[in-house]
Amino acid sequence: MLEFMSFDGLFSLENFFTLLMLVLLQAVLGFDNLLYISIESKRVAEADQARVRRIGILMAIGLRIVLLFIVVSAIGYFQDELFTFNLPGLAEGSVNGHSLIVLFGGAFIVYTAMKEIMHMLAVHDPNTNHERAQRSVASAIFWIVLMNLVFSFDSILSALALTKVFLVMATAIVISGLMMLFLADRVSAFLSANRMYEVLGLFVLFIVGIMLVSEGGHLAHIKLAGYAVEPMAKSTFYFVLIVLLLVDLVQSRYQRKLMAQKQHEIDNPKITTASIDANLD
């Protein structure tokens, strides 16, 4: 049962520690959301990017609190079955509101990440202007707010496992939103200054989408060819993330080493020729 209290009650020892845990939870779960915001904001004109991030996050904070109230007040409706499907030998499942939101969000993130990756790999004629069509400010804000709500749905359900006090959960949402507002411009600036990490960010976003799709499939009790869809564990996601970071770090350092070696060979052609002759002898 949802509990309301005066603001003074927020500072009881129990609620204070619960608040700290919720803020930490929101921060951990908000990493992928922050990454999406940074990538999505790059779709608008450069002069509007910071404004899009600020407006999108501030609107999302307000809508998250509204969503929190809706979810905790009508959580049963999100768990009620909406429809079932059964294709003998192919697929079957039982879809509810929760699973539909998570499935849609995950599928859209996978689509966004793949589209951005394919754009990076596209071969363009250097003599032709191939600038991407930019999104309007309103469109970018809409998608940032929408996907923020998708990301926040699971964090709200996780928060309900820790407390039933509305003010504690709402305060955690506001604090984590302000932290996101503070970090959004810095993450975007880092990705712009280090374009190679943008590729890493897109693959992380792709894995986030896969994780959400698998979780949505599990919530919908989907079976493909008789095999149940199992959710990707959060520990698996963070392990994959660490591996990706290590691979990128090693590859970047190795690439710098090769470039330095190549430059050395260009600057010292005689030494290189003498080394080849010595090896032939």
Q: Does residue 2 have a pLDDT over 50?
A: no
Token pair listed for 224? 């493909």
Q: Measure the CA–CA gap between 74 and 261, rounded to whole angstroms.
A: 63
- Which one is predicted more confidently, 215 or 192? 215
Average pLDDT for residues 251-273, to the nearest whole number? 75
**Whole-number pLDDT of residue 261:** 82
Which of the four pLDDT bands, split at 50, 70 and 90, describes residue 6?
A: very low
pLDDT recorded at residue 136: 81
pLDDT at 162: 67
How far is residue 260's CA from residue 258's CA, in Å, rounded to a whole number?
5
| DSSP-derived 3-state class of residue 76 | helix
pLDDT exceeding 70 applies to what percent of the chain? 77
Could you report the per-residue pLDDT of 89-126, keeping only the tens digit for each?
888 898 888 788 788 878 887 887 787 778 777 655 54
Q: Inform me whether the pLDDT recorded for 11 exceeds 70.
A: no
Residue with tokens 């309103």: 138
- What does the pLDDT look like over 239-259, one tens digit per residue? 888 888 888 888 878 888 888
Cβ density class 21-46: b for 16+ within 10 Å, e for less:
ebbebbbebbbbbbbbbbbbbbbbee
Sequence-distant (≥ 6) Cβ neighbours of residue 119 within 8 angstroms: 132
Contacts of 256 (CB under 8 A, 6+ apart): none
pLDDT exceeds cutoff 50 at 152:
yes
Phi, psi of 122 (to 5 degrees): -65, 140
Q: Which letter, b or e, does each residue of 98-127 get, where b requires 16 or more Cβ atoms within 10 Å of its Cβ?
A: bbbbbbebbebbbebbeebbeeeeeeeeee
Q: What is the 3-state secondary structure (H, E, C) of 113-146?
A: HHHHHHHHHCCCCCCCCCCCCCCCHHHHHHHHHH
Q: What is the CA radius of gyration of the chain?
A: 24
User: Is the predicted pLDDT of residue 140 greater than 70, yes or no?
Assistant: yes
> Contact 116/200 with Cβ under 8 angstroms?
no
Task: Flag whether pLDDT at 280 surpasses 70.
Answer: no
Give the per-residue pLDDT at 17.
76
**Whether 212 contacts 102, CB under 8 Å:** yes
**pLDDT at residue 38, as a whole number:** 79
Residue with tokens 């032939």: 280
Confidence category of residue 1, pLDDT binned at 50, 70, 90: very low
Distance CA 4, CA 259 (A): 62
Split at pLDDT 50, 70, 90, the class of 235 is confident
Q: What is the pTM of this model?
A: 0.63
**Residues 12-37 pLDDT 10s:** 677 777 777 777 766 666 667 777 78
Confidence band of 80 (pLDDT split at 50, 70, 90): confident
